[in-house]
Amino acid sequence: MVPVSYNLRNLAVRKTTTLAVALGLGLVVFVFASVKMLSNGIKKTMGRSAAADVAVILRKGATAEIESQIEEQSINLALNDKSLPPPATGPRGVAELVSVILLEKIGAEGFSNAQVRGVGDGALEFRPTVKVIAGRAARTGTDEVMIGKAIRGRFAGLDLEQTFELKKNRPVKVVGVFEDNGSSNESEIWADLNTVRTTFRREGTVSVIRARVEPSKFDAYKASIESNRQLNMQVMKEAEYYDKQSEGTAKFIGIMGIMIAVFFSFGAMLGAMITMHAAVANRQHEIGTLRALGFSKASILFSFLIESVLLALLGGLIGAAASMAMGLVKFSMVNFASWSEIVFSFEPTVEIIVYGMIFATVMGLVGGFFPAIRAARISPVDAMRS
């Protein structure tokens, strides 16, 4: 077998060509890995909003909070169901109203939707992971709001001590900024429940009820609520709810990204193929010498494949390293489930990097296959004469 050091030497000698092709392959791996990281980030951002002991209750048939409408009288029935034991600490549950408003974006032309959540007194106590990091919590019964730190400064009026309109002629003031471990809650505006109700003419209704339920009691509670025809509600675990909310957006990003990466990969593989063909043409004398020394056609074929794969792995390392830097980037887009803008981050994992390197290896094998066959078929006699 031809020593691998021979291939490494050839790549080093042709450093300019090697670097050019490696950068092309690296770009493909960068796109591939970045898209996978963004898709993973969407799922994780939504998933961080979920608590293991919280049940989400929506109107039957609704797929998202914004589609759901639950009558006031159903709240007590749902939260005082006999199958729901009282929690050890904190409120038994909360009822919230969700809507979206159109706001002007800062730093970009145009407008986008922001999600508004009407909350009651126990909202912060019910969600112990939510922490006010600037200003203070909004007071109940006022036109004060809190905003998540992810959308702070992304829209006109969304910063501490600034004002904006929930609806025309209904201004509210931002008195606090909160964080929630990077969850989708950080992309929301939290206002008083009754303020949101009157603003959007939704008096007497809420969008969602959240109840604290021990995991072991969830099935019994779900069966009790869903069998009550008077309520006409559906129950799901909070983690299941957010998984469904992220599914459409994550799938769209994943499919589009993979299509772009595959399209780019054809160009990268073509570049690798041209480079390896040129290497074969310029090294015919070397190939003839290797054959004369007793190396078989299979050894020559394997050697050139190894060289192509090494070239691809170099590109893969460059692309993977560049994609890791995307972990510092925040990316906002409209979530298909709520039609409001949510800020996501790129979430790198070892698995994504490994997949990126496998993708690079495949590109190297495909790009180097035909040049390797060409090299293996060169006659040693003709090569020595050239």
Q: Mean pLDDT per segment of 10 residues, for the chain of length 386 residues?
A: 74 81 87 87 82 92 92 90 75 93 84 92 90 94 94 92 91 95 92 94 94 91 90 92 83 79 79 74 73 78 85 91 86 75 86 91 86 77 60
**Amino acid, res. 233:** M
Q: Pick from 356, 366, 355: which is nearest to 271 by CA?
A: 366
Question: Residue 374 in 3-state DSSP?
Answer: helix
pLDDT at 55: 93
Helix (H) or strand (E) holding 208: strand 208-212
Q: Pick from 310, 270, 260, 337: which is nearest to 56 by CA?
A: 337
Is residue 316 within 8 Å of 29, Cβ to Cβ? Answer: yes
CA-to-CA separations, 123 to 140, 258, 336, in angstroms, rounded: 11, 40, 25
Domain boundaries, the chain: 4-47+245-385, 61-231
Helix (H) or strand (E) holding 192: strand 188-192
Distance, in Å, from the CA atom of 191 to the CA atom of 24, rounded to the nearest integer, reads: 49
Distance, in Å, from the CA atom of 192 to the CA atom of 196, rounded to the nearest integer, reads: 6
Distance, in Å, from the CA atom of 55 to the CA atom of 241, rounded to the nearest integer, reads: 9
pLDDT at 10: 75
Is residue 69 within 8 Å of 59, Cβ to Cβ? Answer: yes
**Amino acid, res. 157:** G
Please state whether the predicted TM-score (pTM) of the whole model is above 0.85. Answer: no
